[in-house]
Structure formats: C-alpha cells, structure tokens
Structure 1
Amino acid sequence: MPGGVDRAAADGGGGGLRPEVAGMSPRPLAPVGLLAVIAALAGCARQPLTGPPELRVGRDECAECGMLVAEDRYSSASLVEREGERLYVFFDDIGCMVDFEYEQGEGTRVLERYVHDHESRAWVPGLEAAYVFADRESLRTPMGSGIAALARRDAAEALAAAHAGAVHDFKSLSVARREWMWARYGKPPDARPVEPR
C-alpha cells in the first residue's frame, strides 16, 4: 500500500509502525551502519599499545630463554618497538628481561617495562620498582637470576636482608647483572658498555 501505513507492522506483526515510502527499503541503511562500525574499530586499532600487558601464565613464552612463563611472581614484560610496530615481550625471570635488553640491536627500542611485585604480584612500572639481586641459591627464581622486584623500597630492603642481597634501581641492576654474567661466563672481547635503553 504505497504512501500508507504497513498494517502488519501496526498490528504487531512487523515490530512497530513503519511508513511505507515508495522506493525505500531498510536494507540500504545496513551498509552505512556497517561502515560506521568499521570506522569506529579502525579508530580503536590506531591507539598505540601502552600500559601493563595481560600475561597468560602457562601460555606466554619468555622472549629470552623460550620457556613458558609458569608463574607471575618473577615475571616481567617490555613494550618494544621493532620496525615501527609496538609489541609486548614477556619474560619468565627478570634476569631474562635484563639480558634481552642488553642483547638487542638498534632495531629494537624498549618503550616501557613492567615487573610483577614479589609480594602482591601486581604489575609495577619497571623504572619505579626496587630490585633485589641476591645469591641464586638463596633467592630462587625460574631461571636462577636471584632477582625479584618490589613496589616499595622498604619491602625490597627487607627481602634483601633475608637473602643477603642488594637493592637496586633498574639502571644499577642492569650493570650488576652484566658484571655477574661476565664474572660467571667470561666477558666477550667485543662487550659493549651496559646502558639500559
């Protein structure tokens, strides 16, 4: 019935009153709606990665040693940029993160670091954490680094005292870890200075 009211819709058969207009169909609106959804999703996709990642314990692999991250207490993550792409890399041991960063070439840039607090297991920004570096037999970690991170310095000092360790910030931890590795495995003749990126 051109120009009239759809009686089936008015009687509850079509879901509501809908005027009939010659040549109009609700179908052309579907592609417009789809385009709006695609545009919204594309806008979301352009947001750069930032902030703590979601770690999947037992599923995510350590970028340094290749082991699965089996527990979160000593795990860490870095947000890196490679060839213009941002991605998270995970580590089962904070020592693996420090080693990974030292070994990366100029093509990988570390943007953010996150470590799990030894006590609460919550993510802490890596540059804000206090680190305990202790004997690997006293403070047992997944890969034997003897490194734990804590959100509070006083908690780090207590853990260090309990394990005869030292408290570090990230920069001094990087230097201490490299010196420990060189003392244990030998310093390569082409070793470069330790400068966290």
Structure 2
Amino acid sequence: MNGEASGWRLILTAMALLACVAGVLAPGCVRGEVEGPPVMRPGRDACVACGMLIHEDRCAAAWLIERDGVREHEMFDDLGCLLDHERLAVDPPRVVGRWARDYERRGWVACERAVYVFSDPDRLLTPMGSGIVAFEREEDARGVIERFGGEVMGFDRLVTARREWMEARYGKPR
C-alpha cells in the first residue's frame, strides 16, 4: 500500500507541475492585439497592391487594417501603392494605422506625422515610379528637394496631390 500511495503522489505531483508549466506557456500561445508598425523583411515581404517583393525598404509603407474583427498588417513597396490601393478599394477595410519608411533614416514614421517629398518620378526613383518619399524631419525632406526637386507636403495634401497626378496622367477611375 505504501508503494501505491507514493506512486499516486508522484502522478499528482507531475500533473501539478504540468499544470504550472501550461499556465506559464499558454499566454504566449494566445495572439495579442496587433498594433504599431510591422517588422519589415526586405526580399521576403510582398506589396499587397502590386505583388512585387519589397527590396527598397526606404520607399516602403504599411498599414494596419481590421476586417471582421481581425487585425493584420499589409505592406506596400512604394507609397504610391498605398495611396492608390486605399483610394481605389471597392470594399475598403477599417484602417487602424499607416506608416511610411523614412527615406534617410529607414525607420517607421506614422503617415499622419511624416513629411513627404513628391517629385518628378524620372528624377526621384522609387520602386513603382511614384516619386514619393517620406521623412520624419522636414529638414531631411528639404535636402532631398535640393537634389531632386519636387514639393514638400503633409499627408492630407499628398493624398490629394497623388490623386490629381494619377487622374491627369491616366484619367479618372471608372
């Protein structure tokens, strides 16, 4: 009987230990709320708008969207892709946040806080030919204007300028 009791004690101890381990590890298995900019993987992430792999990280953009209660990041290889994709969406998702890569510093900056250079795409080369790059600091944007020309603007003006440029070049979407 003594051996049988110690066997049960060993089984109960092992079960208690497993319960503790499961309690510690289980929260890591639950997916938390997605927020903030994504982690970029150049050469592995593809643009959701055009399908190209993102190689030129300093021209990239991303947004965090929510569909049916599920949040996910989508990446763009060019700021023009982000702007056009959002403008032309038939069933637009709820946008939680937008980010652009700082052209000089290569970190994420919230699109609403960024300063943009909209330049001649033949002079300021970007992956999809938009001629649009973003900066966290206006003085960095002014330095690019000196080299490539163009105009410095905020996000709201950029959205309008890109739409006008696309319509002048390709006509209004149907």
Deviation of 1:107 (Å): 4.6
Runs of 4+ in 1 over 3 A off after TM superposition: none
- Percent of aligned pairs with the same residue? 42
Task: Structure 1: state its 5+ residue gaps.
Answer: 4-19, 191-197
Q: Deviations over 1:153-176 (max 9, x none)?
A: 121122123222011111110100
Higher relative contact order (CA 8 A, sep 6+): 2
Q: Is the 8 A contact 1:95 1:147 kept in 2?
A: yes
CA distance in 2, matches of 1:126, 1:159: 18
Q: Is the 8 A contact 2:86 2:92 kept in 1?
A: no
TM-score (norm 1): 0.79
Equivalent position amino acid for 2:167 in 1: W
Deviation of 1:103 (Å): 1.8
The structure-2 alpha-carbon separation of the partners of 1:30 and 1:107, relative to structure 1 and needing over 3 Å to count, comes to farther
The answer to whether 1:49 aligns with 2:34 is yes
TM-score (norm 2): 0.89
The answer to whether 1:91 aligns with 2:86 is no
> Does 28-37 or 91-100 show the bigger shift?
28-37
User: Where does residue 28 of structure 1 map in the other structure?
Assistant: 15
CA distance in 1, matches of 2:151, 2:91: 31
Secondary structure of residue in 2 paired with 1:24: helix
Q: How does 1:1-197 map to 2 (within 5 A)?
A: 2=2, 21=6, 23-25=8-10, 26-42=13-29, 44-45=30-31, 47-188=32-173
Secondary structure of residue in 2 paired with 1:113: strand
Secondary structure of residue in 2 paired with 1:187: coil
Deviation of 1:127 (Å): 1.1
Count residues with an aligned counterpart.
171
Counting helix residues as a fraction of each chain, which structure ranks higher?
2
CA distance in 1, matches of 2:167, 2:146: 25
Equivalent position amino acid for 1:32 in 2: A
CA distance in 1, matches of 2:8, 2:79: 66
Equivalent position amino acid for 1:66 in 2: G
Secondary structure of residue in 2 paired with 1:28: helix
Secondary structure of residue in 1 paired with 2:152: strand
Deviation of 1:126 (Å): 1.4
What value does the CA root-mean-square deviation take over the aligned residues?
2.1
